[in-house]
A and B are shown apart, each in its own frame.
Chain A
Amino acid sequence: MLNLGRTSLGKAAGQRRRLPRPVRNAIGVLVSLGLTFLGLLMVTFLIGRVVPIDPVLAVVGDRASPEVYERVRIELGLDRPLYEQFWIYLSNVVTGDFGQSALTSRPVLEDIARVFPATLELATLGTLIGVLLGVPMGVLAAVRQGRWQDQMVRVLGLFGYSLPIFWLGLVGLLLFYARLGWVSGPGRLDVFYEGMIPTVTGMILVDSLIAGDLDIFRNALGHIVLPASLLGYFSLAYISRMTRSFMLEQLRQEYVTTARVKGVSHGRVIWRHAFANIRVPLITVIALSYAHLLEGSVLTETVFAWPGLGQYLTNSLLKADMNAVLGSTVVVGAVFIGLNMLSDLLYRLLDPRAR
């Protein structure tokens, strides 16, 4: 049955034994994954080598003697031709060695394992807030199209699109931290709690629960809530707009009218009929917005002294620490691909046609 659509191909292949289709599919996915990463690395590598920044300077500083400078240049492999540099890097990466960061003197993987959980924690909470508020708001705006609820959602979304996050972050800190005292300040924890729980996942909210320390959990929550809400607000702006337009499209469909005529309740029409049909495109929207936050929002991280991937990547870029930049790029790439595969999986669960 599997070969039904491929008879001609099957014939052309003659009697040769072929791998079963799921295996071939898996191989295809792997090959395309490999090619994606290869392309990603190659482009990043090239950009890193053509920017007019001297990576040796980042390591030795402006004052080093010419001998030291030359030695480090050779250590970094910068005396070799570009393709050779890339080949060496690639063969190391295949064995899981992403090299050392010139700026932290530590293996890049170790650095990323330290900074990524901070971003993951922030982005996840931010996305949760964005989805939790954004989706119902979008639905509300669509149902009450043109009325005050719709206008409010529109204005909120507009602010989210247009306000600089840097400014909003500072205003948020001034208001909720300095003036009202509702939240804790920048940083991930009070100094008092620093280093009191063992690092397991690197996400303090999770680690504190594992350690069973609710004080630390509450403290960490007090620190994360403002930056997460800020990120949540920006993803809310996007998610609510998209939800609204998806819903409007569905509500115009005849099946909705039919359902209403048949006397199906208002809530049921909206949630069971129309909303069920926008779940699939909505997942793409949410996954995109989540992936965007996972790259690390460098401005938010700067204002909130949040030691995440965004700051790490920007810092490394500005100082031409290419191992760190390439390593972070792979992580961001993996996040994108991972989320894509996850949303594919969710499609299959939610959309009977895709099963």
Chain B
Amino acid sequence: MKKTLLAAVAAVALVWSAGPAADAATPDDTLVMAAQIDDIISLDPAEIFEFSGAEYGAQVYDRLVTYDVNNVSDIQPMVAESWEVSDDGKTFTFRIREGITFHSGNPLTAHDAAYSLQRAVKLDLSPAFILTQFGFTKDNVDQMITAPDDRTLVLQIDQPYAPTFVLYCLTAGVASIVDSKLLQEHEVDGDMGHAWLKNNSAGSGPFMLQQWRPSEALSYTAFKDYWRGAPGLDRVFVRHVPEAATQRLLLEQGDVDVARDLLADQLNELRNVDGIVIDEAPKGTLWYLGLNVKREPFQNEKVRQALKYLVDYEGMVNTILAGQFKVHQSFIPEGVLGEIDDEPYTFDVEKAKQLLAEAGYPDGFSITMDARNNSPTIDMAQAIQGTFAQGGINLEIIPGDGGQTLTKYRARNHDIYIGQWGMDYQDPHTNADTFAANPDNADDAAAKPLAWRNAWDIPEMTERVRAAVLERDAAKRARLYEELQREHMEISPFVIMFQEIEVVARSADVEGLIWGPSFDSNFYWKATKN
């Protein structure tokens, strides 16, 4: 009996004795990253619309134009070496750079650029609206976007939009240049290679897709002939590590070079650890409360204002959200044209009570809030529950999974929704169009911007948003957005609270990673290892 047990213990011990075969260090020529990448549903830039997918697109594809990640207002040439806008503001002519080749070896020409934009419009997938808002449709796009020769690309748009608006939209992932010859080889039933490209790559960027195993790993190999110079490392390996604590262990053990999704307290502990560096990059994601104007109290502007005084902005940023959020109360994030840094609201219970009394709620009221059951949403919600209570508002939190709360929000069945909003492209219009425009407040409206979801009927402000996107003078345009935001802050049913900061923990051995203001401006190609 004892012998049997001993034998069994010995057998199990034998399995354990295999131990770690290699020493815990990442290979010198490989960047190894731990990240949550299970949001990727497709690798086709005409379909990619998630954070991790956008970041993938930025490594594998080039775009016509780009912006300086340190100064977003500086739009820079990329595949297009120069461009001109016609006097009527409706024709954009791009000069395509010579000597760029795709990973396949095919040369990149203006025809590829035209094909890429036409393709995104014709496939009409999630991010296609970024292009179709210029009047491109399946039927007219072949005439509106043309390549008269190998080096020239001409875009004709339907209205004289602000040139900055058009160019910023072209910096978005959906405007990535794809290898038209390669895609035509993989075309099935006229799908322009979509089925194939979901799991493969056809780009000219610094990295080539090596392998994608969904919710497991994404790996890249360097494209040595990249036109801006070969990448610093031969390989990038991104492992899907869902648990933050595991990411931290991997980083500390040297099994990964970069950990992407650490939590505030873990980052604080790592700040003092030798050999680990914390990078911070404000991202264009805002956190806000949406107050459904269908609910009686929120029809009163004073109640909406009162709630803006019942959020402890500084308190949260200094405690539960430390390091990963900054206070931001206007709808255009820092780092974008037209941004303002006004912070009119502070945590002020007296002021809030006074406003509530004026609005006819001296004793407050009871209300619910839908919140995703994850960190930091639920933490924020709980903090807000506490500060609301001080103003006499009894808040019940309804936790739910992401899909659940979002479905409810889109059906306008919430009282208060707490959530985040990320920019779709690096132009102020993307946020103005959702926070401050609501063309049709009917229940069956086609467009469902955030203003619609909170049943905020604002025909006049919607017009002003429209005017701002047509203002061709950049300085004047910025002023229009500033005015819009100041008014918005005062009257809107949105309690805009924070702007997110992406915090990345990396080994000090890795240098040169670029963390831009959006996920499709995070770049690995200049990274090197000591």
Show the binding face of A for B, using Cβ within 8 Å: 51-54, 57-68, 71, 102-106, 111, 114, 125, 129, 132-133, 136-137, 139-140, 143, 170, 173-174, 177-178, 181-187, 190-195, 215, 218-219, 221-222, 225, 228-229, 232, 267, 270-271, 302-305, 307, 311-312, 315, 318-320
B273: Cβ under 8 A from any A Cβ: no
Complex Cα distance A251/B373, Å? 51
Q: How far is the CB of A256 from chain B (nearest CB, A)?
A: 15
Known A53-B407, A68-B126, A194-B237; contact A174-B249, beta-carbon cutoff 8 A: yes
Q: Which of B4, B8, B129, B407 contacts A57 (CB 8 A)?
A: B407
Asked if B12 contacts A229 (CB within 8 A), the reply is yes
Please indicate the chain A residues that have their CB under 8 angstroms from the CB of B16 in the complex: 182-183, 225, 229
Complex Cα distance A111/B214, Å? 8
Complex Cα distance A319/B41, Å? 11
B475: Cβ under 8 A from any A Cβ: no
Asked if A191 contacts B239 (CB within 8 A), the reply is yes
Show the binding face of B for A, using Cβ within 8 Å: 1-2, 4-5, 8-9, 11-12, 15-16, 18-22, 24, 26-27, 30, 32, 34, 38, 41-42, 49-50, 124-129, 132, 198-199, 210-211, 213-217, 219, 237, 239-243, 245-246, 249-250, 252-253, 255, 401-404, 406-408, 410, 424, 446-448
Asked if A222 contacts B407 (CB within 8 A), the reply is no
Complex Cα distance A232/B403, Å? 34
Asked if A315 contacts B19 (CB within 8 A), the reply is no
**Chain A residue nearest to B33 in the complex (CB):** A191
The contact sample of 5 A-B pairs, CB cut-off 8 A, is: A54-B407, A137-B5, A182-B16, A185-B255, A228-B15
Please indicate the chain A residues that have their CB under 8 angstroms from the CB of B252 in the complex: 178
Asked if B21 contacts A305 (CB within 8 A), the reply is no
Complex Cα distance A338/B219, Å? 36
**Chain B residue nearest to A166 in the complex (CB):** B243
Q: Is the interface of B mostly helix, strand, loop or mixed?
A: mixed
**Chain A residue nearest to B445 in the complex (CB):** A66
Q: How far is the CB of B51 from chain A (nearest CB, A)?
A: 11
Asked if B249 contacts A68 (CB within 8 A), the reply is no
Q: How far is the CB of B112 from chain A (nearest CB, A)?
A: 23
Q: How far is the CB of A244 from chain B (nearest CB, A)?
A: 13
Asked if A132 contacts B215 (CB within 8 A), the reply is no
Complex Cα distance A183/B24, Å? 10
Asked if B129 contacts A64 (CB within 8 A), the reply is yes
Please indicate the chain B residues that have their CB under 8 angstroms from the CB of A59 in the complex: 41
Asked if A320 contacts B250 (CB within 8 A), the reply is no
Please indicate the chain A residues that have their CB under 8 angstroms from the CB of B255 in the complex: 184-185, 187, 190-191
Asked if A219 contacts B242 (CB within 8 A), the reply is no
Known A185-B249, A222-B19, A303-B246; contact A106-B406, beta-carbon cutoff 8 A: no
Asked if B407 contacts A181 (CB within 8 A), the reply is no
Please indicate the chain B residues that have their CB under 8 angstroms from the CB of A192 in the complex: 22, 27, 30
Complex Cα distance A196/B438, Å? 54
Q: How far is the CB of B450 from chain A (nearest CB, A)?
A: 10
Asked if A52 contacts B404 (CB within 8 A), the reply is yes
Complex Cα distance A181/B5, Å? 26
**Chain A residue nearest to B5 in the complex (CB):** A136
Complex Cα distance A320/B249, Å? 31
**Chain B residue nearest to A139 in the complex (CB):** B1
Asked if A190 contacts B126 (CB within 8 A), the reply is no
Q: How far is the CB of A277 from chain B (nearest CB, A)?
A: 17
Complex Cα distance A178/B408, Å? 43
Asked if B198 contacts A105 (CB within 8 A), the reply is yes
Asked if B1 contacts A194 (CB within 8 A), the reply is no
Q: Which of B125, B214, B246 contacts A305 (CB 8 A)?
A: B246
Known A105-B41, A191-B237, A303-B243; contact A219-B21, beta-carbon cutoff 8 A: yes
Known A192-B27, A194-B219; contact A54-B447, beta-carbon cutoff 8 A: no
Known A54-B407, A185-B249, A318-B401; contact A191-B41, beta-carbon cutoff 8 A: no
The residue in B246, B250, B448 that gathers the most chain A C-beta atoms within 10 A of its C-beta is B246
Please indicate the chain B residues that have their CB under 8 angstroms from the CB of A215 in the complex: 21
Q: How far is the CB of B357 from chain A (nearest CB, A)?
A: 37
Q: How far is the CB of A156 from chain B (nearest CB, A)?
A: 13
Asked if A170 contacts B19 (CB within 8 A), the reply is no
Asked if B8 contacts A218 (CB within 8 A), the reply is no
Identify 4 new A-B residue pairs, CB closer than 8 A, beyond the known A53-B404, A184-B22.
A53-B407, A178-B253, A190-B255, A307-B216
Asked if A318 contacts B402 (CB within 8 A), the reply is yes
Q: Which of B24, B42, B215 contacts A315 (CB 8 A)?
A: B215
